[in-house]
Every structure is written in structure tokens, then in C-alpha cells.
């Protein structure tokens, strides 16, 4: 089960000399938590301005919940950033912006308590205003968390002794950089016996007994973990890299550590994982570079992702909600199942009958078996295709293929149509082919037969071709003329695919496929399998239930 991590923090646009990037310690931390496999929730605020709209779009793309992001009549946060010759940033943070005025209501508190959040994260910058600091204190006093992660970010004119003390007195996990510690010590809140990292860790934890783990990042010297319970230290050595920018490195370190720790890693292993990610981030100019982080390993160039029946982990399968979610999250492909009604309307439904996914509008199951081919589209619309998944999706209607292809074309997503088309009556198949001609390169046609792929290639010169049948040297030779628009799919052996009657992926077969076509791997439902598949096979496309987000 994914750990749930709530971030109470800032959303800021970091404005460089020639570019701008969305950031802020809070957003950076939350985004890296999502990339590290946690269920990441961000509690923040943006303005009713263009930067605010762009910020919401970015948060959606990072796979985080936007439910607790307030939209206020204040400007969205901005910060000008200048880098010195070593890539170290100097920040100038604009005052009285949206994140300085985050409100929190009793409904917000109830929602968070109902969500059973594992960890809360906050830092010092979010406390610089009275409004947001008061909201944070209400959150701390009204909600329960297994862990509280605090990161000491001492920005000029944006902290005071009270904001630092709130971190130190509440944190169970404290992250401090060696540079920030020099300023922290001047506040006289603790007194190390000597000027060593180990003495600093002991002094802080002796003064603030709530801190279970202290993470002291040491720049080019790696990081030091201190466990206050047993007094043990663990040092993770720095990874060799060329530093492009240190912006976001500390945020990624904290995010990787708590995500790994809450996922069952011990504190030492979590520190090594965090150190690996931070080293990767400093080699990039972006605070949240493109990567996937699975099993403690970084996958920098991720494959394209295909959403199986839409984002079917989060939404009812084969519905407009599932397909819209896939487009908004940034999936490159949507996989769906075509079907048809008695009046020859091409719809999207996996089963022959509607019974598994449809319900009466009041949520009752449909007792009599109803095959979709035996009812009209108008009759099919009398049922609800979302309420059986969750009441949040009540009112979901059966989508037509035309409506899904229209959405996909608008959003720039390719739709892979499953090979059920081969069993359609001729007149229904022709209606589907008319849609293929209408939408062209938005469509990818699938078949398990080489001859059918050949006929699709001749008939639809702009459509993509996907083959998911038996694979051997002769099949690959016959398919090779279509390599410029062909994907060959192999199943990754797992409980999700054990029923498959085609060869499973292995390194030798995958290498052969990649010589003549794009390699697709299906069906991945967890991050460990995703990491394994990426590292062993280097696929071009991976089909996922929605457990893997772009």
C-alpha cells in the first residue's frame, strides 16, 4: 500500500535569467514524493492568475492531489534565482503572495483525518506570514500523523526563531543542510560539544527529544543519518556527478527518504536511496527533472506509458473519467476495448455484457444478464457505469468510441484499439474503420494476426500498428516492412498476465523485437515490476493499470 504524505507548503515559480520553473520547497518535496511512489497530497495556495493556472496543470502532471490547493485573490508565489559559479542559488522571494495566506477550515481538518495520512511535511518558509503559520498550527493540533518531516530552509528575511522552533519541536524526522546549520546554531537553541557533524546531531536531538531521525546533508561529502533512539550514525557517501544546480536537491533527499522509510526500508537504506536521488537532481538544472524512481533506482529516460482502459486504478475502467485522467496526467497512449450496440453504435466496453461495470442509477446491481449487442445505445445510457466503482463517479455514461477519439485528438493522446474488432460483423467493423479514417494518426490498431496487420497497413497509411500475437523470427521478418509505425507487444509474467498464450518477455526476445519495431510490455501494476522491466528490456512503451504515473 502506498504511503500517504501530506505537504503543507509553498508553490513558487523560480524565475531564472532566461527561464522559469515551478518550484518551492513544498511543491518540490511533494512532487518528488509522487515520483518516489507515495500518494502525495499538497496543501497550498495559488492566485487567480496565469501562473496559478499553470501551477495547477503542473501539479496534475506530477500525479499529486489538487484537492487542498486553495485559489485566492493574491498573486501566485514567485522567486528570482541567481546561481553562482558553483551552481549554488541565491533567492529573492516576493512577499504577500497566495501561499502566505493559506486558510484551513474545519472541513479541511476532517478531510485530512479521514484520509489517514502517514506523514506531514512542512518547512520554515511557509511560516513567514501569520495566516499560513496559524493554519499550520491548527493542522498540527487537530490532526494525527505517524511522522512529521521538517526541512530547515532559511531564506533571507523569510524566517524567525519561532518558525524554526516550530519545526524543531514537532519534527520526528528533521533534515538540515550543513550550510543551514551554521545559521541555525547562531539562534542559541542548542550547543554542540565540538564542531563536528556528529556533535551537532547529538546536540539537536538532546535538546529536542521528539526527533527520532536527523538527516544532515553534507553537500559534496554526502549525508549523515543520526538515530536518536540508539545513538547510531550512518554516513552515505556522495555520488560522483557534475553539478548543474543544487536547487531542489535537499527537497528530493527528504522526499526519497520518507517515501522509502514509510514503504518499509530501514533508515540506513532510506538514506542511501535519498542520497542517490539527490545526486541525480544536482546534475540537472530543473529542481524536478524527468525521471522515474523505482526500487531505489533512477530511470531517467522513461518509456511512453499506456493507460490500460484509462487510469483504471483511480477511475472506472473504459469511461470518459478514466480517459480524461490519462490525458491530464500525461499518458502518451490510452488502451480501450471497442464494442457495439444493437443499433450499430461503436461504444467502449470490455465485456460482452454490461453487468460487471454497469449498475442501476441508484447503485443496485443488474440482476438479468444484458449483452451490449442486444440493446440500443439509448437503452445502454439508462445505466450508470461509474457508481459501481465509487459513488464519486455516479452518473458516468457509456462512452462512444467517437467521443473518446475526439478527446484524444484534442489532448494529443494516441488511442490503441484492442483487437476485438476482428470479431465484429462486417457492417459494424466498417463503422469502426470509418472512425479510423476520420481520426488518422490518433488511432493505433491492434491485431494478433500478421495478415491483419498487413491489411491495416495498406488500408490506413497514417494509423499506428500494434501486434500482440505469437512472436518468432519468421513473424518479425514479415512485420519488418512496417517498422516505422509498428509496436510489438510482449507480456511481462505476473499474476496480471499469467493467462497469456504468447511468449513472455525475456532479454533475448526483447532485443530481437527492438531490431524491427518498438517494444511494448504489458501489463505492469506495481513500481518494482516497472523498475525491473525498464532495466532489463528498455521498452519503448509500457502498459499500466494506472499504478505507474507519468
**Distance (Å, whole) CA 354 – CA 444:** 25
> Which member of 308, 360, 466, 492 is catalytic?
308
Q: Give the pLDDT score at 87.
A: 67
* Residue 350 a catalytic site member: yes
By the 8 A CB rule, do 57 and 66 touch?
A: no
d(CA 366, CA 356): 9
CA-based torsion, 151, 238, 93, 10: positive or negative: negative
pLDDT one digit per residue (tens) for the chain, 550 residues: 789 999 999 999 877 777 777 888 999 999 999 888 888 999 999 999 989 988 988 887 777 878 899 999 999 998 877 777 776 777 777 889 999 999 999 999 999 999 999 999 999 999 999 999 999 999 999 999 999 999 998 877 778 999 999 999 999 999 999 988 888 888 888 888 888 999 999 999 999 999 999 999 998 889 999 999 999 999 998 888 888 888 889 999 999 999 999 999 999 999 999 999 999 998 887 788 877 776 667 777 778 999 999 999 999 999 999 999 999 888 999 999 999 999 999 999 999 999 999 999 999 999 999 999 999 999 999 999 999 999 999 999 999 999 999 999 999 999 999 998 989 999 999 999 999 999 988 999 999 999 999 999 999 988 899 999 999 999 999 999 999 899 999 999 989 899 999 999 999 999 999 999 999 999 998 877 888 888 788 899 999 988 888 7
Catalytic residue among 350, 360, 466, 492: 350
pLDDT of residue 243: 82
Residue closest to 30 by CA, chosen among 72, 71, 66:
66
Q: Give whole-number Cα distances, 150 to 246, 351, 353, 386, 511, in Å.
A: 19, 49, 52, 39, 46
Q: How far apart are CA 125 and CA 102, in angstroms?
A: 13
Say how far residue 410 (Cα) sits from the centre of its chain. 22
- Beta strand residue intervals within 48-156, DSSP E: 69-72, 77-83, 89-93, 119-123, 147-151
The confidence score (pLDDT) of residue 295 equals 63
Query: What are the cell numbers at 539?
Result: 521498452
Do 73 and 63 touch, CB atoms closer than 8 A? Answer: no
The grid coordinates listed for 334 are: 490510452
Q: Which CATH class is domain 305-544?
A: alpha beta
Say whether the peptide bond before residue 159 is cis (omega within 30 degrees of 0): no
* Angle value at C-alpha 121, between 117 and 125, nearest 5 degrees: 150
Classify strands 414-417 and 333-336 as parallel, antiparallel or unpaired.
parallel
Distance of alpha carbon 335 from alpha carbon 307, whole angstroms: 6
The yes-or-no answer on residue 466 being catalytic is: no
CB 348 within 8 A of CB 318: yes
Peptide bond before residue 523 is cis, with ω within 30 degrees of 0: yes
DSSP 524: E
CATH topology of domain 4-301: 3.40.1190
Residues 151, 123: contact at Cβ < 8 Å?
yes
- pLDDT value of residue 294: 66
Q: ∠ CA 309-310-315 to the nearest 5 degrees? A: 105
Nearest to 401 by CA among 344, 332, 362: 344
Q: pTM of whole model > 0.85? A: no
For the chain, the structural domain boundaries read 4-301, 305-544
Map residue 65 onto helix, strand or coil: strand
pLDDT at 216: 96
Amino acid at each position: 500500500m502506498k504511503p500517504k504524505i501530506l505537504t503543507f507548503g509553498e508553490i513558487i515559480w523560480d524565475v531564472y535569467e532566461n527561464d522559469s520553473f515551478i518550484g518551492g520547497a513544498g511543491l518540490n518535496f511533494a512532487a518528488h514524493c509522487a515520483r518516489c511512489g507515495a500518494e502525495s497530497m499538497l496543501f497550498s495556495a495559488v492566485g487567480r492568475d496565469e501562473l496559478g493556472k499553470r501551477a495547477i496543470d503542473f501539479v496534475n502532471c506530477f500525479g499529486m492531489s489538487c484537492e487542498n490547493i486553495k485559489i485566492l485573490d493574491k498573486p501566485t508565489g514567485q522567486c528570482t534565482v541567481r546561481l553562482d559559479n558553483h551552481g549554488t542559488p541565491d533567492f529573492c522571494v516576493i512577499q504577500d503572495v497566495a501561499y502566505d495566506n493559506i486558510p484551513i477550515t474545519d472541513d479541511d481538518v476532517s478531510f485530512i483525518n479521514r484520509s489517514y495520512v502517514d506523514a506531514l511535511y512542512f518547512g520554515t518558509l511557509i511560516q513567514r506570514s501569520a495566516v499560513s503559520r496559524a493554519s499550520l498550527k491548527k493542522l498540527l493540533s487537530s490532526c494525527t500523523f505517524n511522522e512529521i518531516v521538517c526541512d530547515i530552509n532559511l531564506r533571507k528575511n523569510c524566517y524567525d526563531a519561532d518558525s524554526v522552533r516550530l519545526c524543531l519541536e514537532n519534527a520526528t524526522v528533521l533534515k538540515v543542510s550543513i550550510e543551514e546549520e551554521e545559521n541555525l546554531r547562531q539562534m542559541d537553541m542548542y550547543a554542540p560539544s565540538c564542531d563536528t557533524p556528529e556533535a551537532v546531531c547529538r546536540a539537536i536531538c538532546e535538546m529536542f527529544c521528539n526527533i527520532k531521525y536527523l538527516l544532515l546533508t553534507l553537500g559534496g561529502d554526502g549525508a549523515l543519518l543520526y538515530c536518536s533512539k540508539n545513538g547510531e550514525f550512518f554516513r552515505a557517501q556522495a555520488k560522483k556527478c557534475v553539478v548543474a544546480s543544487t536547487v531542489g536537491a535537499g527537497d528530493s533527499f527528504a522526499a526519497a527518504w520518507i517515501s522509502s522509510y514509510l514503504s518499509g526500508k530501514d533508515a540506513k537504506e532510506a538514506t542511501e536511496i535519498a542520497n542517490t536521488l539527490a545526486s541525480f537532481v544536482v546534475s540537472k538544472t530543473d529542481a524536478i527533472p524527468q525521471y522515474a524512481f523505482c526500487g531505489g533506482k533512477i530511470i531517467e529516460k522513461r518509456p511512453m506509458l499506456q493507460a490500460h482502459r484509462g487510469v483504471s486504478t483511480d477511475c472506472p475502467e473504459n469511461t470518459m473519467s478514466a480517459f480524461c485522467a490519462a490525458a491530464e496526467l500525461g499518458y502518451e497512449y490510452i488502451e480501450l476495448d471497442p464494442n457495439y450496440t444493437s443499433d450499430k453504435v461503436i461504444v467502449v466496453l470490455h465485456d460482452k455484457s454490461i453487468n460487471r461495470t454497469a449498475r442501476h442509477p441508484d447503485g443496485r446491481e443488474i440482476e438479468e444478464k444484458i449483452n451490449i449487442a442486444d440493446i440500443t445505445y439509448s437503452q445502454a445510457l439508462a445505466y450508470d457505469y461509474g457508481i459501481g466503482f465509487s459513488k464519486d463517479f455516479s452518473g458516468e455514461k457509456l462512452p462512444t468510441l467517437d467521443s473518446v477519439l475526439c478527446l484524444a485528438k484534442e489532448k494529443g493522446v494516441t488511442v490503441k484499439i484492442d483487437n476485438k474488432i476482428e470479431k465484429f460483423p462486417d457492417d459494424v467493423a466498417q463503422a469502426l474503420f470509418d472512425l479510423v479514417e476520420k481520426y488518422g494518426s490518433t488511432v493505433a490498431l491492434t491485431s494478433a494476426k500478421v495478415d491483419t496487420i498487413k491489411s491495416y497497413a495498406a488500408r490506413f497509411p497514417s494509423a499506428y500498428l500494434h501486434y500482440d500475437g505469437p512472436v518468432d523470427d519468421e513473424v518479425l521478418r514479415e512485420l519488418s516492412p512496417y517498422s516505422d509505425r509498428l509496436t510489438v507487444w510482449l507480456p511481462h509474467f505476473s499474476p496480471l498476465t499469467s493467462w497469456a498464450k504468447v511468449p513472455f518477455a525475456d532479454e533475448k526476445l526483447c532485443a530481437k523485437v527492438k531490431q524491427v519495431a518498438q517494444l511494448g510490455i504489458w501489463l505492469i501494476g506495481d513500481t518494482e515490476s516497472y523498475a525491473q522491466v525498464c532495466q532489463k528490456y528498455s521498452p519503448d512503451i509500457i502498459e499500466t493499470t494506472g499504478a505507474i504515473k507519468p
